[in-house]
Amino acid sequence: MVQTSFLIYSVVVLSSGPLKQFANILLFLLMCISAYSHFAIKDGLDKMTSEFIFGMLLACRFIVRLQVQARENNVGPSVQHLENGETVSDVAEADADKKTE
């Protein structure tokens, strides 16, 4: 089991994109199976702590990736309004015009 998790973790570290997400899910499932096996043989909670911590870390990493992906897909260019009603892009264009003069 240690060799499998090391191999999958290497994929997480060295790859990107969908393969990395798939490896992340596999590691999470492996941690769930490991925690269940400790529970099934009635090990104490101290034996399962590392699986819980690593599983929560993987779950949070996956959730953050989903949030970033949703933001990239759904949100267009953001417009920030300043106090005087101008947008940030208006100010940036004015600064660029000043530099070219």
In our burial notation (b when 16+ CB lie closer than 10 A, e otherwise), range 15-35 reads eeeeebbebbebbbebbeebb
pLDDT of residue 94: 67
pLDDT for 91: 57
Cβ-Cβ contacts under 8 Å for 12 (sequence gap 6 or more):
20, 23, 24, 27
Question: Per-residue pLDDT tens for 35-89?
Answer: 899 899 988 888 888 888 988 998 898 899 888 888 888 765 555 555 566 665 6
pTM: 0.60
